[in-house]
Structure 1
Amino acid sequence: MDIYLFVYLILVAAPIGTVIHELGHVLGATLVRADMTTLTIGTGRIIGRFVFKKTVYTIRLFYFLGGMAGSRRKDPYLPGEQITIASGGPLMSLAAAGACFCLYNVFSNKYLLVLLLFNLWVAGVNIIPFRYKEKKSDGYTICMAVRNK
């Protein structure tokens, strides 16, 4: 892997893939009528924040270091609604990988391939049920919601 491809992965592909994944959770929360949703990209000092259609978007200084989505609603989410929200991220990552695959077949280049593979990786890792300290994967959330149905 050349240095340009590595820098592209860290500074461009990973943040784009993270935004796509977290937008899937926001979409899922919107579908189950969340009162407010949030999407945060990165860690560190806040460098930008805006609100669009009941979603607060926050961009932090180290925008390439992960992200998270959240939602709030007056009434608690039912297990099926929790599944909708949790599955939104991996499904959106898979859809993005599919779109990248179609584009790659027309405009084949290594940068598009990296974006395709990153989205597949994000979908795959997040669907595996695991918990580490206070962090829970989407797969874990789905399994707990199914268990509580």
Structure 2
Amino acid sequence: MEGSGRRTMHWLLVLIYLVLVAAPAGVLIHESGHVIGSWFCRAEHMNLSLGTGKRMKAVRIGRKLTIHFHLLLTAGGNASSVRTHPYSNMEKVVISMGGPACSLAAGWVLMQFVSEGNTWIRLFALYNIWIAMINFIPFKWRGKKSDGYFVFRAIYGDGQSG
């Protein structure tokens, strides 16, 4: 029974780590990629939201970026940007792919530092790679759209004329 109890404790620690550390940090990395893409496309203002629920705090960084912290930090995030003239389809692709690209890059860099016994860094690296791979796939689910979905729409349109 002792071995079984240890395995349960191990998986509980992994779950706590994923929910309280890896998920919020991974979302920050991913959404920062969208902000970087927006910056390259000359956005006039960018918002980065971490979590969902009631907004707890907003921090302004410079003239162009506001970071919003929400009550449930472990439950996703969002990045948005605005500018006077609309983004071209290519700019929409750059902004949309910024998130998965940043997640993939972070995962790759972290994997370079993984040693034989460092499960936590490996887990965080794999989590970032997973976020990237899922977001490359174009899908819409419960009103949420993946980055791949936005890219698909930017390239192929929405099927509506006029």
1:56 correspondence with 2:66: yes
Residue 71 (structure 2) pairs with residue 82 (structure 1): no
AA aligned to 1:143 is: F
What secondary structure does 2:114 align onto? helix
Q: CA RMSD in A?
A: 1.3
Deviations 1:53-92 (Å, cap 9, x if unpaired)?
3111011111000000001111000000000000000000
Aligned to 2:111: 101
Aligned residue for 2:19? Answer: 10
The answer to whether residue 134 in structure 2 is matched with residue 143 in structure 1 is no
Distance 1:132 1:14 in 2: 20
Q: 1:124 maps to which residue?
A: 133
Task: Say whether 1:32 aligns with 2:63.
Answer: no
Q: Which has the higher contact order (CA 8 A, sep 6+)?
A: 1
Q: Which runs of 5+ in 2 are unaligned?
A: 1-9, 158-162
What is the CA-CA distance between 1:110 and the residue it aligns to?
1.1
Q: 1:69 aligns with which of 79, 103, 107?
A: 79
Match of 1:92 in 2: 102
**SS of aligned partner of 1:63:** strand
Q: CA deviation at 1:134?
A: 3.2
Give me the whole-angstrom Cα distance separating, in 2, the residues matched to 1:134 and 1:31: 28
Q: Determine if the alignment matches structure 1 residue 134 to structure 2 residue 134.
A: no
- C-alpha separation in 1, matches of 2:85 and 2:27: 28
> Normalising to structure 1: TM-score of the pair?
0.93
Identity fraction in percent? 37
- CA–CA separation in structure 2 for the residues paired with 1:108 and 1:40: 34
Shift of 1:47: 2.0
Measured in 1, the distance between the counterparts of 2:35 and 2:141 equals 23
Q: Which amino acid aligns with 1:4?
A: L
* Structure with the greater alpha carbon radius of gyration: 2
Structure 1 residue runs of 5 or longer lacking an equivalent are none
